[in-house]
């Protein structure tokens, strides 16, 4: 992963969430609440490469997650809301196949026991660091 301009001031690559702005840093994790107004900026003349994945907000209920997942699935597979029964079945099969291929990735959060606390999310304006279930910050190992 490459973030240009690490030593420049101000850094050309930055992320704003709410009223806070932070620089992108190579080797560091940035976790933020996308339900807040946010913006990623690359003012350099180079490409910025990041690894991005999404996680559920911990305050969502199971039913809310299911409802949102259905909406996300419909964006990827519009056939889920077709008036043609065969198109719905085909779309459901594609979603099921995709979900099966991703199932092997889901244990990562439990395996590493990582979860941001509510206090961390609130105090950092949507940003959060990872903490374990005992409340101890996870340190980056070199």
pLDDT tens for 24-76 read 888 888 888 888 899 989 999 988 887 878 788 888 898 998 999 899 899 99
Whole-model pTM?
A: 0.49
Question: Which is more confidently placed, 136 or 87?
Answer: 87
Q: Which of 2-6, 54-58, 64-68, 130-134 has the highest mean pLDDT?
A: 64-68
Report the relative pairing of strands 127-128 and 31-32 from DSSP bridges.
antiparallel
When the pLDDT of each residue in the chain is averaged and rounded to a whole number, the result is 77
Q: Which two tokens stand for residue 91?
A: 């779309």
- Is 90 exceeded by the pLDDT of residue 132? no
Question: CA-based angle 36:38:39, to the nearest 5?
Answer: 175
Q: Band of the pLDDT at 107, cuts 50, 70, 90?
A: low
Q: Which of 64-68, 83-87, 105-109 has the highest mean pLDDT?
A: 83-87
Residue 121, H or E segment: helix 118-123
Q: CB of 33 within 8 A of CB of 17?
A: yes
What ranges make up the beta strands (E) of 35-110? 38-42
pLDDT of residue 94: 93
């Amino acid at each position: 992963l490459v973030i240009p301009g690490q030593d420049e001031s101000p850094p050309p690559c930055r992320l704003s969430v709410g009223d806070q702005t932070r620089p992108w840093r190579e080797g560091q994790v940035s976790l933020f609440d996308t339900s807040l107004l946010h913006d990623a900026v690359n003012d350099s003349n180079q490409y910025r490469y990041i690894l991005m994945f999404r996680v559920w907000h911990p305050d969502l209920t199971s039913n809310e997650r299911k409802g949102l997942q259905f909406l996300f699935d419909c964006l990827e597979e519009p056939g889920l809301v077709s008036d043609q029964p065969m198109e719905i079945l085909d779309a459901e099969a594609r979603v099921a196949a995709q979900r099966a291929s991703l199932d092997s990735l889901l244990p990562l959060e439990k395996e590493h026991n990582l979860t941001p606390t509510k206090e961390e999310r609130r105090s950092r304006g949507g940003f959060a660091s990872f903490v374990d279930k005992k409340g101890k910050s996870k340190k980056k190992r070199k």
